[in-house]
Amino acid sequence: MAEQNTRLGILMMVTTTFIFAVQDGISQYLAREYNVLMIVMIRYWFFAAFVMTVASRTAGGLRAAARTDQSLVQGFRAVLLVAEICVMIFGFTLLGLVESHAVFACYPLLIAALSGPVLGESVGWRRWAAIGVGFVGVIIILQPGFGVFQPEAIVPLIAALMFALYGLLTRYVGRRDSAATSFFWTGTVGSVAMTAVGLWFWEPMSAYNWLWMAALCVTGAAGHYTLIKCYEVAEASAVQPFAYLQLVFASTIGILFFSETIRTNVAFGAGLIVAAGLFTLWRQRLRG
- Kindly report the pTM of this predicted structure: 0.89
Average pLDDT over residues 145-164: 78
Which among 168, 223, 188 is positioned nearest to 18, based on CA atoms? 223
CA 164 to chain centre: 9
| 81 phi, psi to nearest 5 deg | -65, -45
Q: What is the pLDDT of residues 92-117, one digit of tens each?
A: 999 999 999 999 988 888 888 887 77
* Polymer length in residues for the chain: 288
Query: Cα separation of 73 and 119, whole Å?
Result: 14
Q: Which residues of 215-230 are buried (b: 16+ CB within 10 A; e: fewer)?
A: ebbebbbbbbebbebb
Q: What percent of the chain has pLDDT over 90?
A: 48
Query: Cα separation of 91 and 156, whole Å?
Result: 6
Query: Cα separation of 78 and 169, whole Å?
Result: 10
Residues 6+ apart with CB under 8 A from 11: none
Q: What is the pLDDT of residues 27-52, one digit of tens each?
A: 999 999 999 999 999 999 999 999 99
Q: What is the pLDDT of residues 162-190, one digit of tens each?
A: 999 998 898 899 889 888 899 999 999 99
Q: How confident is the model at residue 19 (pLDDT cuts 50, 70, 90)?
A: very high
C-alpha distances (whole Å) from 72 to each of 115, 138, 189, 205, 220 are 20, 33, 11, 35, 25
